Amino acid sequence: MSRPLSDYEKRKQISVRGLAGVENVSDLKKNFNRHLHFTLVKDRNVQYYYEKDPKRIYYLSLEFYMGRTLQNTMVNLGLQNACDEATYQLGLDMEELQEIEEDAGLGNGGLGAPACFLDSMATLGLAAYGYGIRYEFGIFNQKISGGWQVEEADDWLRYGNPWEKARPEYMIPVHFYGHVDHGPDGTKWIDTQVVLALPYDTPVPGYRNNTVNTMRLWSARAPNEFNLKDFNVGGYIQAVLDRNLAENISRVLYPNDNFFEGKELRLKQEYFVVAATLQDIIRRFKSSKFGSRDPVRTSFDAFPDKVLASPTGVTVGRGVSQHWLSLCQAWEITVKTCAYTNHTVLPEALERWPIHLLETLLPRHLEIIYEINQRFLDVIYAMFPGDHDRLRRMSLVEEGSIKRINMAHLCIVGSHAVNGVARIHSDILKKTVFKDFYEFEPHKFQNKTNGITPRRWLVLCNPGLAEVIAERIGEEYISDLDHLKKLLAFVNDEGFIRDVAKVKQENKLKFSAYLEKEYKVKINPNSLFDVQVKRIHEYKRQLLNCLHVITLYNRIKREPNQHFVPRTIMIGGKAAPGYHMAKMIIKLITAIGDIVNNDPVIGDRLKMIFLENYRVSLAEKVIPAADLSEQISTAGTEASGTGNMKFMLNGALTIGTMDGANVEMAEEAGEDNFFIFGMRVEDVEEMDKKGYCAKDYYDRIPELKQVIDQLSSGYFSPKQPQLFKDIVNMLMNHDRFKVFADYEAYIKCQEDVSALYKNTKEWTKKVIINIATSGKFSSDRTIAQYAREIWGVEPTHHKIPAPDDPRE
Ligand SMILES: *Cc1c(COP(=O)(O)O)cnc(C)c1O
């Protein structure tokens, strides 16, 4: 008697008759696992972190300025040479392929540094997550038309984004509007409008350590019933069209750098990312070994030991308090869990939200903020009885014609650690903007000097330099940048000096070719490449650079037969679309270029080029080609800067003020190897007390007077002589950043630069010293300090075990 065949056996019979039989099952298993791993990205790292349950680091930021991902992935996985070879054998050119990728321009400028931090956190093996917004439109594309900036929408997702994976299974509701009901059974926030937060995950590979972390960006989705039940709405079609209103939250990155605009949609973005992220964190905590899936038995006591949330810059909504905790308990957990990094001291950049916006958008949160403020001020008053002025200064609520919530104050009160991003910046915080808070809780205040990732900003963008370094000291420096110090032994090594100078010359030739091909501009690759690339802003003083260029122009015109060190000045950067003065500065740069570049007397001794559409992928091209890095902000205004560090690592010398991280860069390199000029912070403060008078400089310095008179008379705008009157008026009458006060020192310092540049060998020695001493400015060092001194975790630096082949 034979038993009936099982379904499996029947199917096997069919498949044996049909295709490949048993092999088919194993193929299917392989393909299933492959699909799970590579397409659905059910990552084994998630499993690893679940098993080990380390303290999680949550880095919240409204900006992750990631740039391109393909080459970075190949570098970090150690696949670059293999990929180059494979594509070559396929008859493809890897560089050409790389140029096709859109930049992920989800940041404005340096504040987008969390992109570097993600790389370092993965490289240091921290269980870290980046959380932000998946803007459908990143920072606008800049076109130059008739010398003016024109903005174009950055439709970076048009052709899809192969690096991201939507995770609809982790969608989270975020509530807005509604009102507060103080009923008999407690306080309730009711009649809210819901927007769904749909997460998209992007893998963040560490440098050759088998670790992959996650960047999770939220996209806004209207719920399916959005507005459908609303009788006021004009029916079904209108309700579907109105879904856009909710989904506008993640539509576009606000293009302001260092400026608070106070728009309701921006407040929605800030609350959206925080509310979705906190719920996600709590969900992950509850499903961990410390939390429990049973809400009644969930203990949040271990929460601060397992979670550290570090939001940059902006706002901290307090989702924890919506749970079954008392406000007191919730607040204690909040303070233990949160750390706040300040990124600027410019008053116009600090967020102070009008009460009326919060009242309608987040009425319950406003009540809680009032309550927090009351309890906080009670403590202050007990400590400083009678000091009403101090209470007014420290209050989270600013009185005035428009009542506002001061978000920086809320962040300080709600965090256990507060830090600035360079030593001088952290000192200024304690002495000025946050003085009262420092006197109240000095233990909270720390410094964490910014850094950049040496993977993207050396290995990826400057393979020639990375190679000559590796030939001398090996590759260890890539994951431990302090090893660059070993290059000090080669400062007088003729061979190394020659190699470093040669790589720079090759990079300059390559960039010249790029400019000629893409923009039809011809530059002299033997001239000094003098580069200022960063957002256009009055405090960064691109205008000081312009005054220098015009001064050089006038000098050549005055003595055309004199010898001059040829220079190509390149300035690049975006102006916020609503920032009139910044847009005028761009027009001035292009106008100077039109006159200078076409003057036959000048020839190729002086050129002024505006680099259109400065962004991460352009930074990767121009920085390795730069001889001179311009870091010339008014002392006390640039929190850190990160562009300055990229140039130092890539073999440019810096001309800079004692501002931001420049101070520490000069300290590392030695002041003899740095072109420092101008007022120190103390000088600026002194001048503020006495009063700054631009006209005194104008009257006293003939070359400065000549430049300003040329701008006033239309020398650089012959068809529109009045064009630059706003700039001249600003410089002469209300220049907050004191350009004229540093003019003489800057011109003098630039003369020293030119003199040194004549001697290639001496110049290159200083370049080598700068590269060798740039190790401090690795974001690996920055992140290791955050980890140990604020987050309470230890970087492992260990490789985790290599994965089993998921195809098996
Ligand atoms: C590094 C970087 C910045 C920051 O430059 P700073 O000189 O520090 O202001 C801005 N934009 C891009 C594209 C960058 O890569």
Question: Measured from the CB, is residue 422 less than 6 Å from ligand 1?
Answer: no
Q: Is 517-773 the same fold as 48-68+103-141+150-447? A: yes
What pLDDT is recorded for position 21? Answer: 52
Query: 43-47, 149-153, 701-705 — which is least confidently predicted?
Result: 43-47
Question: Measured from the CB, is residue 641 less than 6 Å from ligand 1?
Answer: yes
Reduced to 3 states, what is the DSSP secondary structure of residue 703? Answer: helix
Å from CA of 703 to ligand 1 middle: 31
Mutate to test the pocket of ligand 1, among 63, 111, 616 (most ligand atoms within 8 A of CB): 616
Do 483 and 775 touch, CB atoms closer than 8 A?
yes
How crowded is the C-beta side of 37, counted as CA atoms within 13 Å?
16
- The amino acid occupying position 530 is D
Å from CA of 535 to ligand 1 middle: 7
37: CB partners within 8 A, 6+ apart:
43, 44, 806
d(CA 458, CA 2): 71
In which band, very low, low, confident or very high, does the pLDDT at 10 lie, cut at 50, 70 and 90?
low
In which band, very low, low, confident or very high, does the pLDDT at 4 lie, cut at 50, 70 and 90?
low
Sheet (strand 352-354) strand order: 352-354, 404-406, 397-398
Å from CA of 733 to ligand 1 middle: 30
Mean pLDDT, range 18-32, rounded to an integer:
72
Distances (CA, A) of 727 to 532, 581, 735, 741: 19, 7, 10, 16
The reported pTM is 0.94
Å from CA of 502 to ligand 1 middle: 26
- 517-773 under CATH 3.40.50.2000, yes or no: yes
In which band, very low, low, confident or very high, does the pLDDT at 40 lie, cut at 50, 70 and 90?
confident
Q: Are strands 567-572 and 606-611 parallel, antiparallel or unpaired?
A: parallel
The neighbouring-strand residues paired with 654 are 629
d(CA 727, CA 735): 10
- Residue 294 φ then ψ, to 5°: -85, 110
- Structure confidence by residue, pLDDT tens digits, 399-446: 999 999 999 999 999 999 999 999 999 999 999 999 999 999 999 999
What is the CATH topology of the domain spanning 48-68+103-141+150-447?
Rossmann fold (3.40.50)
* Residue 68 structure tokens: 């391109």
In which band, very low, low, confident or very high, does the pLDDT at 6 lie, cut at 50, 70 and 90?
low
Mutate to test the pocket of ligand 1, among 140, 257, 258, 535 (most ligand atoms within 8 A of CB): 535
What pLDDT is recorded for position 743? Answer: 99
- Structure confidence by residue, pLDDT tens digits, 295-322: 444 566 777 777 776 554 333 334 444 4
Which residue has the CA at smallest separation from atom 9 of ligand 1?
534
Atom of ligand 1 nearest to the CA of 641: 8
d(CA 640, CA 421): 6
d(CA 415, CA 437): 12
Å from CA of 648 to ligand 1 middle: 13
How crowded is the C-beta side of 571, counted as CA atoms within 13 Å?
28
Q: How much is the mean pLDDT over the chain?
A: 92
Which residue has the CA at smallest separation from atom 5 of ligand 1?
643
The maximal CA–CA distance of the chain, rounded, in angstroms, is 116
Domain boundaries, the chain: 17-46, 48-68+103-141+150-447, 517-773
d(CA 82, CA 97): 15
d(CA 149, CA 457): 27
- Structure confidence by residue, pLDDT tens digits, 107-147: 999 877 788 999 999 999 999 999 999 999 999 999 999 99
Mean pLDDT, range 594-604, rounded to an integer:
97
Write out the catalytic residue numbers: 343, 534-535, 540, 642, 646
- Structure confidence by residue, pLDDT tens digits, 463-491: 999 999 999 999 999 999 999 999 999 99
d(CA 243, CA 237): 10
Alpha helices (runs of H) in 248-362, residue ranges in sequence order = 264-286, 303-306, 327-337, 355-361
- Structure confidence by residue, pLDDT tens digits, 347-378: 999 999 999 999 999 999 999 999 999 999 99
How crowded is the C-beta side of 671, counted as CA atoms within 13 Å?
6
Atom of ligand 1 nearest to the CA of 533: 7
d(CA 270, CA 240): 25
Distances (CA, A) of 178 to 175, 365, 393: 9, 12, 31
What pLDDT is recorded for position 492? Answer: 98
pLDDT at 803 > cutoff 80: no
pLDDT at 292 > cutoff 60: no
The neighbouring-strand residues paired with 181 are 188
User: Which helix (H) or strand (E) element contains residue 77?
Assistant: helix 70-77
